[in-house]
């Protein structure tokens, strides 16, 4: 935590830079400089105090992104340290640093119940945060319009009205001067509500001050640093239960890491406490929750809004109960599940019938009992691989507990041609809301969806909207659209009665001429929900969405790596408006939950700086993480009177089901631990990364790791989620661990700055002596952590210091003049540098991947380098490619649109290929390019208007690379042949007349300058590829004869020369040899083509005597023996008849 010093904020140097228009500070805000939430104030721009790394102080406005970044780097800020910052919930709790109000809810008498149970168990569970990682980062454009201080804001937000109000307050103008437009959002997940409005306010101030349109788009790293994430949680629990597994009492405490501002944290805490029962009827239940105020970036709403954290702690508690008793976890869940007419811990009555149905059907669909037995057998047979299974339920409350948010409006226009325009207050962010609204309008108006269009969500068409959140978007907006459409339909009733057989268009036109309004607003007043925290009772939700999920995983106990073998989900979503879309939502939510509980981990430095800023450090689920078998079932015969068309909200509930992967991993870990004689509850926090899973297995290898001594190490990152909890359990632990290793293998722990200084200092000492540089790097790898700081290392070796995005050197002063970019620009020097990199990577093999990634990055930064720097990099890259140090796939970076457009790619390629060919030859280049599928893409080095063979040839020939030009021309010819073959196959598949195919082929043959021999080969391949052949040898011959007879006319048209006939015969021979089912069909195919006048006897005899190839030679010659003898005899008889005639 810092205070701006007396030097404060100095923007003078930034303002002198070219392209910088202005720098916006708190003093420039004409209206409210703060935003108020829950009695707390959040400043738009820090003025006196900075409470976290990532808090915004000023905004640089420039004409380009590059100029803006340079301007931001030139801003000088003076700080004074304030007392010790707080980063973890433990630190915040110790200092009583909370955002009020703290909440508590209780049912029954917990204290008394603990006295009557058979067992009492205490534990704790930690969950890390989760980055939203939406595809489109925070983005907005604010445009001043008109003369009355009016603004159009085009914002990627879930709450247009919230953004509109915030901008109006910041500018000190009425809301009617601000229009917020949202076309669609590239993902949000809750992360585009509060922080988006703050960023929009700053952008609007910039637009107001400059009177120009201002766009703000955060880069991924900035977005992750500024916008906050899901709340990390520490859950503590005490549970009392009976010998049969019935839980009689539970006392649960939740501490969320809210960050430096309040945001929506109190609401998250409330929702956590409202879901601490999940699907279980615990007669005595108490929950307490607090939002801890820390000096990390403020955390915010995220899909599930605290429920995934809440239920995760509860389910972990149930797992502990099962382990204490030695009972199956599903049995403990089932015995405690709600049954019959039920009441939640806050007094809401509901029926759990569909919850039980989901549970039972999930067990049935997954064949749970059999899978459980199979996993146990697998575990008995395998020591280092274990399988685990788990099944979990979900009961999720739908709608906002804050009643005023349960409303929606819509505006529907019908135009004279019968087309319909629908506007509503919800935002489309990939969840399919617009599609569902079209379906509602279609159903209510009785017209096809093709006549209905939704342009955007805008505050000037539908005012005072509520956020698209809480899985309530379809429910609320659907009802509003339905209301508007019903109004219009009723207005048209007199017209329909007059002309009952008329069309929709005729009714609309008639209504217009009858002066009937064809525009209507719709409104939905949602249920009056509430929660009285003083009485600890209320009705905060309209209804519940239920579900259950089974999961099976296979775990590698030595590495902690796992694979999801199977997942089965059963969800109760009522009568779905769009089942395919809802299934997609379930699948996506499950994968996002899988990421939360097993993969995604936010890491902060000891000073509170987020390390994991971008996909290279932060891993979200990929295609390889999708379960090998993934089944989603919708519960049949389900009805819901509380939502449109008896449907249910589905956006958020299924996310928690990803925890089934976590619990399946924990089940597999328990099986591994039993091999070491360890039974009973054990700690495994979330996310269950491979490291944590491996350590939790407590194999003989990990148990050899000594316990860490407090104070003997300096952690490289904050311990937000421990590797093993603080409970007194068996070691090992890795957090801050000092390993007992041989001295030469010990690594000194450095932060990025110290690492950079060490490398720079070493290079300055070795100077331009590259032999000394190589020795220094070799020795340093034993002490410095090259694996962690590979990017820093290569940046310094190439550019002399750390590179900022775009290719400019970062503004720190830790640089060296001894690097690639400052070396002499000649081939000999570049070869010496290539040797340095080669030795380094051969010595430390793990740097290979990092080095390739560095080269890819450098190629994308080419515009930021000087021409000389580009030339050196090109020569080095060519040498490295020739020596096989890197893959040719790195050249994909050269196809970047901006590099191609400005000619940078082509110029760079000239130098690169020259050095490559100089080291090897054109055959080496060709082979490498073919290997990565880039042999046909060289034309893409030029802009589309110059992408011709002639231009390519001239450009590279003039540059002294004729061999590359010839190679490209040859590749283009091969490409043209492939395209022709593909087109022929399509024509044959369509059944085009052979005369048309022949005409087309002859034209293409002439255009591509192809010989008849080449053409007949293409035709044969096309003919044989356009049919699916029978796999049975005895049937394929008959099929082939029938098929070839059909195309004999086509084949005949391109065998007018003897060489063409021989080419065809050789092609047939190769084909029959390569496709084993055709081995016996060769002779019959040749005879057929002879009878069809495709092949002459001269060609056949020539092939038989000396023109055949080695492939299948003996088999095919034997097959043809009798036919050839017949041909020879027939020829002799013909000759003798001619002699007699003479």
- Taking only Cα atoms into account, the Rg of the chain, rounded to an integer number of angstroms, comes to 36
Task: State the pTM of this model.
Answer: 0.67
Average pLDDT of the residues in 667-691: 93
β-pair type (214-217, 530-532): unpaired
| Diameter over CA atoms, the chain | 128
CATH number at 407-526: 3.30.365.10
Residue 586: predicted pLDDT? 97
Token pair for 462: 């539908």
pLDDT in tens, 484-542: 999 999 999 999 999 999 999 999 999 999 999 999 999 999 999 999 999 999 999 99
pLDDT in tens, 431-487: 999 999 999 999 999 999 999 999 999 999 999 999 999 999 999 999 999 999 999
β-pair type (349-350, 537-539): unpaired
Average pLDDT of the residues in 224-234: 96
What are the DSSP E strand ranges found in 132-245?
A: 139-145, 150-155, 178-182, 214-217, 233-241
Token pair for 219: 């880069």
Residue 1003: predicted pLDDT? 86
**Quick one: pLDDT band at residue 230, thresholds 50, 70, 90?**
very high
pLDDT over 70 percentage in the chain: 95
pLDDT in tens, 806-837: 788 876 667 888 899 999 999 999 999 999 99
Average pLDDT of the residues in 953-981: 81
Count CA within 13 A, CB hemisphere, residue 1055.
26
Residue 141: predicted pLDDT? 98
Look at residue 53 and tell me whether its pLDDT is greater than 60. Answer: yes
Angle (nearest 5°) at CA 719 between 715 and 724: 110
What letter does residue 476 receive in the DSSP assignment?
A: H
d(CA 456, CA 270): 33
Under 8 Å CB-to-CB from 1136, ≥6 apart: which residues? none
- Beta strands across the sheet bearing 233-241: 98-107, 284-293, 247-259, 233-241, 119-127
Tell me if 576 sits within 8 A of 582, measured CB to CB.
yes
Look at residue 736 and tell me whether its pLDDT is greater than 50. Answer: no
Give me the torsion for CA of 134, 136, 138, 144, rounded to 10°: -150
Listed range (1-5, 180-184, 269-273, 906-910) with the worst mean pLDDT: 1-5
β-pair type (420-424, 452-453): parallel
Kind and range of the H or E run holding 457:
strand 457-458
pLDDT in tens, 988-1001: 888 888 888 998 88
**Quick one: pLDDT band at residue 741, thresholds 50, 70, 90?**
very low
Listed range (65-69, 845-849, 1046-1050) with the worst mean pLDDT: 845-849
- Evaluate whether 2-83+132-226 and 407-526 have a shared fold: yes
Kind and range of the H or E run holding 798:
helix 790-799
With H, G, I as helix, E, B as strand and everything else as coil, classify residue 247: strand
Strand partners, 397: 544
94-131+228-313+320-327: CATH architecture = 2-Layer Sandwich (3.30)
Listed range (257-266, 721-730, 753-762, 918-927) with the worst mean pLDDT: 721-730
Give me the torsion for CA of 998, 1000, 1005, 1008, rounded to 10°: -170
**Dihedrals phi, psi of 971, to nearest 5 degrees:** -65, -35
Residue 746: predicted pLDDT? 41
Q: Which residues are annotated as catalytic?
A: 652
User: Tokens 């720098």, residue?
Assistant: 23
pLDDT in tens, 572-607: 999 999 999 999 999 999 999 999 999 999 999 998
Residue 556: predicted pLDDT? 96
Under 8 Å CB-to-CB from 804, ≥6 apart: which residues? 69, 73, 810, 811
d(CA 559, CA 578): 42
pLDDT in tens, 903-930: 999 999 999 999 999 888 888 888 888 8
Q: Which DSSP string corresponds to 857-872?
A: HHHHTGGGS-HHHHHH
Listed range (394-403, 563-572, 784-793) with the worst mean pLDDT: 784-793
**Quick one: pLDDT band at residue 1131, thresholds 50, 70, 90?**
low
Strand partners, 152: 143, 179
Tell me if 850 sits within 8 A of 798, measured CB to CB.
no
Residue 7: predicted pLDDT? 63
Tell me if 911 sits within 8 A of 869, measured CB to CB.
no
pLDDT in tens, 945-965: 888 878 888 888 888 988 888
Look at residue 740 and tell me whether its pLDDT is greater than 50. Answer: no
d(CA 26, CA 33): 7
Q: Is 423 exposed, middle or buried (0-12, 13-18, 19+ CB in 10 A)?
A: buried
pLDDT in tens, 304-321: 999 999 999 999 999 999
| H-assigned helices in 883-1032 | 897-901, 904-919, 922-931, 949-958, 962-990, 994-1007, 1012-1025
Look at residue 726 and tell me whether its pLDDT is greater than 70. Answer: no
Q: Is 993 exposed, middle or buried (0-12, 13-18, 19+ CB in 10 A)?
A: exposed
β-pair type (233-241, 519-525): unpaired
Average pLDDT of the residues in 845-870: 89
Listed range (867-871, 1076-1080, 1088-1092) with the worst mean pLDDT: 1076-1080
Statement: 2-83+132-226 belongs to CATH 3.90.1720.10: no
d(CA 76, CA 102): 39
User: Tokens 């708190």, residue?
Assistant: 26
Tell me if 45 sits within 8 A of 59, measured CB to CB.
yes
Look at residue 733 and tell me whether its pLDDT is greater than 60. Answer: no
Tell me if 731 sits within 8 A of 707, measured CB to CB.
yes
- The more confident residue out of 464 and 847 is 464
**Quick one: pLDDT band at residue 724, thresholds 50, 70, 90?**
very low
Listed range (22-36, 550-564, 692-706) with the worst mean pLDDT: 692-706
User: How much is the mean pLDDT over the chain?
Assistant: 90
Average pLDDT of the residues in 183-200: 96
CATH topology of domain 346-401+541-684: Aldehyde Oxidoreductase; domain 4 (3.30.365)
Length reported for the chain: 1142
Residue 1: predicted pLDDT? 57
Nearest to 805 by CA among 720, 866, 863, 883: 863
Token pair for 430: 């990939």
With H, G, I as helix, E, B as strand and everything else as coil, classify residue 555: strand
Q: Which CATH class is domain 1019-1141?
A: mainly alpha
Please report, for the chain, the start and end positions of each structural domain, with discontinuous segments joined by +.
2-83+132-226, 94-131+228-313+320-327, 346-401+541-684, 407-526, 823-972, 1019-1141
Tell me if 645 sits within 8 A of 582, measured CB to CB.
no
d(CA 514, CA 868): 76
């Amino acid at each position: 935590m810092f205070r701006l010093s007396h030097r404060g904020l100095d923007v003078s140097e930034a303002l002198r830079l070219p392209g910088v228009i202005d720098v916006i500070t708190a003093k420039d805000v004409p209206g409210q400089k703060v935003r108020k939430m829950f009695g707390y104030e959040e400043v738009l721009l820090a003025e006196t105090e900075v409470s976290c790394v990532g808090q915004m102080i000023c905004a640089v406005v420039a004409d380009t992104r590059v100029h803006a970044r340079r301007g931001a780097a030139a801003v000088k800020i003076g700080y004074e340290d304030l007392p010790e910052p707080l980063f973890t919930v433990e630190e915040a709790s110790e200092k009583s640093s909370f955002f009020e109000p703290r909440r508590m809810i209780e049912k029954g008498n917990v204290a008394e119940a603990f006295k009557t149970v058979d067992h009492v168990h205490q534990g704790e569970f930690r969950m890390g945060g989760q980055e939203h990682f939406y595809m489109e980062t925070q983005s907005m454009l604010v445009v001043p319009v008109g003369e009355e201080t009016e603004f159009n804001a085009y914002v990627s937000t879930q709450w247009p009205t919230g953004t509109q109000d915030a901008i109006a307050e910041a500018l000190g103008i009425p809301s009617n001067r601000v229009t917020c437009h949202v076309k669609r959002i590239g993902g949000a997940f809750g992360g585009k509500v509060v922080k988006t409005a703050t960023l929009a306010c700053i952008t609007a101030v910039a637009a107001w001050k400059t009177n120009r349109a201002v766009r703000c788009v955060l880069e991924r790293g900035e977005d992750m640093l500024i916008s906050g994430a899901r709340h990390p949680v520490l859950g503590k629990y005490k549970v009392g239960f009976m010998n049969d597994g019935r839980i009689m009492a539970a006392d649960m405490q939740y501490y969320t890491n809210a960050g430096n501002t309040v945001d929506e944290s109190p609401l998250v805490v409330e929702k956590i406490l409202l879901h601490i029962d999940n699907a279980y009827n615990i007669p005595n239940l108490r929950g307490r929750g607090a939002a801890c105020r820390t000096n990390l970036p403020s955390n915010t709403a995220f899909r599930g809004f605290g429920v995934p954290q809440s239920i995760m702690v509860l389910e972990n508690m149930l797992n502990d109960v099962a382990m204490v008793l030695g009972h199956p976890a599903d049995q403990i869940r089932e015995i405690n599940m709600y049954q019959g007419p039920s009441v939640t811990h806050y007094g809401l009555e509901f029926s759990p019938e569909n919850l039980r149905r989901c549970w039972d059907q999930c067990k049935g669909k997954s064949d749970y009992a059999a899978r459980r037995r199979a996993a146990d057998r697998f575990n008995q047979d395998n020591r280092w691989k274990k399988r685990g299974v788990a099944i979990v339920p979900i009961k999720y409350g739908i709608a906002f507990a804050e009643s005023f948010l349960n409303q929606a409006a819509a505006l529907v226009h019908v135009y004279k041609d019968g087309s319909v325009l629908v506007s509503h207050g919800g935002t489309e962010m990939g969840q399919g809301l617009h599609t569902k609204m079209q379906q509602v309008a279609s159903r209510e108006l009785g017209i096809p969806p093709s006549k209905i269009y939704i342009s955007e969500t805008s505050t000037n068409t539908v005012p005072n909207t509520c956020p698209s959140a809480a899985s309530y978007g379809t429910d609320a907006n659907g009802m509003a659209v339905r209301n508007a459409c019903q109004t219009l339909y009723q207005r048209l009733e007199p017209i329909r009665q007059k002309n009952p057989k008329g069309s929709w268009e005729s009714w609309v036109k008639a209504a217009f001429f009858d002066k009937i309004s064809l525009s209507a607003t719709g409104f939905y007043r949602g249920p009056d929900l509430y929660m009285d925290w003083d009485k600890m009772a209320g009705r905060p939700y309209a209804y519940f969405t239920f579900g259950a999920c089974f999961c099976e995983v296979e775990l590698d106990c030595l590495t902690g790596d796992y694979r999801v073998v199977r997942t089965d989900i059963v969800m109760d979503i009522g009568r779905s408006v769009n089942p395919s879309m809802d299934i997609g939502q379930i699948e996506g939510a499950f994968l996002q939950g899988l990421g939360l509980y097993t993969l995604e981990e936010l890491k902060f430095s000891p000073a509170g700086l987020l390390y994991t800023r971008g996909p290279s450090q932060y891993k979200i689920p990929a295609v390889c993480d999708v379960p090998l078998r993934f089944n989603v079932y919708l519960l049949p015969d389900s009805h819901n009177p509380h939502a449109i068309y008896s449907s249910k909200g589905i956006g958020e509930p299924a996310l928690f089901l990803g925890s089934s992967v976590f619990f399946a991993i924990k089940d597999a870990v328990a099986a591994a631990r039993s091999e070491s004689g360890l039974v009973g509850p054990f700690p495994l926090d979330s996310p269950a990364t491979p490291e944590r899973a491996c350590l939790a297995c407590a194999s003989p290898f990990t148990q050899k790791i000594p316990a860490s001594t407090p104070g003997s190490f300096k952690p490289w990152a904050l311990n937000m989620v421990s590797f093993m909890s603080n409970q007194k359990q068996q070691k090992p632990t890795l957090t801050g661990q000092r390993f007992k290793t041989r001295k030469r293998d010990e690594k000194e722990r450095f932060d990025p700055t110290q690492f950079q200084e060490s490398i720079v200092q070493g290079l300055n000492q070795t100077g331009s002596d590259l032999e000394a540089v190589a020795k220094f790097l070799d020795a340093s790898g034993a002490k410095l952590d090259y694996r962690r700081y590979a990017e820093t290392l290569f940046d310094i070796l190439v550019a002399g210091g750390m590179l900022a995005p775009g290719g400019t050197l970062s503004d720190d002063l830790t640089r060296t003049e001894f690097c690639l970019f400052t070396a002499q620009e000649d081939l000999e020097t570049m070869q010496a540098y290539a040797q340095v990199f080669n030795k380094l990577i051969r010595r430390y093999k793990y740097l290979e991947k990092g080095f390739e990634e560095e080269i890819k990055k450098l190629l994308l930064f080419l515009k930021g380098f000087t021409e000389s720097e580009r030339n050196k990099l090109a020569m080095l890259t060519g040498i490295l490619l020739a020596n096989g140090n890197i893959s040719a796939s790195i050249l994909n970076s050269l196809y970047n649109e901006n590099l191609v457009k400005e000619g940078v790619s082509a110029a760079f390629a000239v130098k690169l290929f020259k050095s490559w060919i100089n080291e090897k030859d054109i055959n080496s280049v060709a082979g490498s390019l073919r290997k990565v599928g880039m042999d046909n893409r060289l034309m893409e080095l030029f802009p589309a208007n110059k992408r011709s063979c002639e231009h390519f040839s001239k450009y590279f020939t003039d540059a002294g690379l004729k061999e590359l030009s010839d190679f490209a021309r040859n590749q283009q010819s091969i490409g043209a042949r492939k395209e022709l073959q593909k087109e022929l196959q399509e024509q044959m598949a369509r059944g085009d007349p052979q005369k048309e195919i022949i005409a087309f082929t002859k034209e293409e043959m002439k255009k591509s300058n192809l010989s008849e021999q080449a053409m007949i080969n293409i035709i044969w391949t096309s003919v044989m590829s356009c049919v699916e052949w029978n796999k049975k040898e005895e049937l394929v011959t008959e099929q082939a004869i029938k098929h070839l007879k059909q195309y004999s006319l086509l084949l005949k048209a391109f065998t007018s020369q003897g060489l063409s006939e021989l080419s065809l015969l050789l092609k047939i021979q190769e084909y029959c040899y390569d496709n084993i089912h055709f081995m016996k069909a060769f002779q019959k195919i040749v005879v057929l083509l002879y009878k069809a006048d495709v092949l002459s006897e001269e060609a056949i005899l020539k092939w038989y005597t000396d023109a055949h190839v080695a492939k299948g030679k003996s088999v095919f010659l034997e097959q043809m023996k009798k036919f050839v003898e017949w041909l020879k005899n027939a020829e002799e008889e013909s000759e003798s008849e001619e002699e007699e005639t003479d």
